[in-house]
A = this chain, B = another copy of it.
Amino acid sequence: MNTQSQTIRLAVIDDDSGFVTVLAKRTEAAGWQQRQVASAIPPEELVAMKLNALLVDPTVLGEDGWAYLERVCGMLPDLGVIVCTGRSTVAQRVRGLRLGVDDWLTKPCHPEEAMARIEAVSRRRRRGRPEAEAGPLVYGELEIRADRFQAYVSGSSLDLTRREFELLQLLAEAKGQVLEREAIYQRVWGYAMAHGDRSVDVFIRKLRQKLEKRSPGWNYIHTHFGVGYRFDPEASDPESAGAFTTSLHPRHTPVTSSPEPAATVR
């Protein structure tokens, strides 16, 4: 639902280093991914970047600026293209917009406004094509399909409910990171966790049960005592792994400070 706050992948084609730097600072603060690219980068490379938006000053494009813009807009209909340049005539702006450019702003231009316009354009683009979701994510034997709100192991569904799925998806997207309960609750339930609420634990159990049932021999969700949970697929094969992935830790050297601070990983 939240059309905003999504992280935006932006490429900038501009040689106005002052503007670019200021903008980069702000976009970074906002959690966007910004990349500065040279002038004549072929559209194919833009495709590979999986961008949401492209900010371009056509003066650095030289003679073939119009042709380049047209090619980019034609090849990447899902890309938001924003021109940001100095003085221009109405005719130029109209030509650009008719070519496929989504917005045209004039320098000097406040970086905050540039960002707001980039957001607006990306928002619109996204709405136009709600499908085209990313492909299924695969972790170990597990396959998470966002387009079906479901996870599968070798083709068979885990029968996750909506909450279970969202929790799993959240954990998996943060693969390797420990997520605190409060953070998990906040993002899956959408509001702050009440003190003493055990919902997260309960759903973790349900997930583990369903994962174990369909994918035994793998550990996906690890508990970090006093902290939260971490998703990381591990084959927990008794024979192949031998000693140290088994649940009962043989020893954890309580004498010296163990390298792992307070993380009894299960």
Chain A positions within 8 Å of B, measured between CB atoms, are 1, 3-4, 70, 73-74, 77-78, 80, 90, 93-94, 97-103, 110, 112-113, 116-117, 119-121, 123-125, 127-131, 133, 147-150, 155-157, 159-163, 174, 176-178, 182-183, 224-227, 230, 243-244, 247-248, 266
Q: Contact at A177–B128, with CB atoms within 8 Å?
A: no
9 further A-B pairs in the complex, CB-CB below 8 A; given A93-B116, A121-B124, A133-B177:
A1-B98, A90-B113, A98-B119, A102-B124, A127-B129, A150-B266, A156-B247, A161-B225, A162-B225
Q: Which B residues touch A177, using CB under 8 A?
A: 131, 133, 147-148
Q: Contact at B77–A178, with CB atoms within 8 Å?
A: no
Give A74's nearest chain B residue, CB to CB: B1
Copies of this protein in the assembly total 2
Q: Contact at A244–B116, with CB atoms within 8 Å?
A: no
Q: Contact at A99–B1, with CB atoms within 8 Å?
A: yes
Q: Can you report 17 residue pairs joining A to B where beta carbons are below 8 Å apart? A: A1-B74, A1-B99, A90-B113, A94-B113, A97-B116, A97-B117, A97-B119, A102-B123, A103-B120, A124-B128, A130-B183, A131-B177, A133-B177, A149-B178, A149-B224, A159-B247, A162-B224
Q: Which B residues touch A98, using CB under 8 A?
A: 1, 4, 116, 119-120
**Distance of A201 from chain B, by nearest CB (Å):** 16
**Distance of A121 from chain B, by nearest CB (Å):** 7
Q: Contact at B100–A1, with CB atoms within 8 Å?
A: yes
**Distance of A130 from chain B, by nearest CB (Å):** 6
Q: Which B residues touch A162, using CB under 8 A?
A: 224-227
